[in-house]
Homo-oligomer: A and B are copies of this chain.
């Protein structure tokens, strides 16, 4: 990356924890390849400090945009002056940018990342039966995107059953042809299994839910970017499923996110 100077524009990713994020690695080489004098940084915003830390970051005159990860994808909507349609439908956002007039716009790209990760595995969402673990910000984006991409059925498991059912209703709204329903976390019979919870990120984590045998599932995707081989992905690989981790999703959405931030597409 070119050297940082006083003229370098700042982008960031906010989350708690932050060490596991993959966006700096995904975005900075693309920014450099585009010849832009900008850098994307990790900002560790402790959950209890969200309001104060975000207010401070959003006042910086040389900060143009923020990516938003766990656990702030829903709270960040309160900070936006404008919420774009996908983010509004999902009820969460993972990107926030400053407009020329100083106002902030929120949008949601997690669905884009998931669809690109699936495409990379050669597995089509069309007509697929999907088990989705987690109905938080990322889970909602993924559920809505899969429904719109033609998934036939999406079973949703969330420890908060009401949250899972709310997402199921939203999935049916997003694509009336898609059977969205709260479901038990049992993998058998699904084509695609997706972990959209943070479980797997911390040492000692197991699976987000006892999924039973994974054999027969075509693709298993874990949104956790680090470690690259989560317990879920390891079990899926052993069962012969195609797998992709969170870093693949992050890479998949990096181009779309940088375009949202107003950076020119890479020359590389």
Q: Which of B10, B16, B21 has a CB less than 8 Å from the CB of A61? A: B16
B1, B19, B58, B59: the one within 8 Å of A6 (CB): B19
Q: Render A96-137 as a binary contact track against B, CB cut-off 8 A, 1 for contact.
A: 000000000000000000000000000000000000000000
Task: Give chain B residues whose Cβ lies under 8 Å from the Cβ of A44.
Answer: 60-63
Q: Which of A35-43, A143-151, A215-223, A232-240 sits within the interface?
A: A35-43
Question: Which residues of B are found within 8 Å of A174, using beta-carbon distances?
Answer: none
A24 and B46: CB pair below 8 A?
no
Number of A interface residues at 8 Å Cβ cutoff, please give it.
40
Give the interface centre of A5, A22, A54 by most chain B CB atoms within 10 Å: A5
A43–B60 touching, CB < 8 Å: yes
Binary interface encoding of chain A residues 1-36 relative to chain B, with 1 for a CB under 8 A from any of its CBs, else 0: 101111110100100101111101100100000000
Q: How far is the CA of A8 from the CA of B18 in the complex (A)?
A: 10
**A18 and B226 in contact, given A3-B24, A55-B56 (Cβ under 8 angstroms):** no
Q: How far is the CB of A51 from chain B (nearest CB, A)?
A: 9
Q: Which residues of B contact A25 (CB under 8 A)?
A: 3-5
For the complex, give the distance between the alpha carbons of A223 and B49 in Å: 36
Q: Given known contacts A6-B19, A44-B62, A53-B59, what 16 new A-B pairs fall within 8 Å (CB)?
A: A3-B24, A4-B24, A4-B39, A5-B21, A5-B24, A6-B20, A6-B22, A6-B226, A8-B41, A16-B61, A18-B62, A43-B60, A53-B60, A55-B55, A56-B56, A57-B57
A42 lies within 8 A of B8 (CB) = yes
Q: Does A45 contact B (CB under 8 A)?
A: yes
Residues of B within 8 A of A40 (CB): 4
Most B-side CB within 10 Å, residue of A13, A57, A62: A62
Cα distance, A28 to B63, chains bound together (Å) = 19
Closest CB pairs A-B (n = 6): A56-B56, A44-B61, A44-B62, A6-B21, A49-B59, A53-B59
Report chain B residues within 8 Å CB of A59: 45-46, 49, 52-53, 56
CA distance A61 to B6 in the complex (A): 23
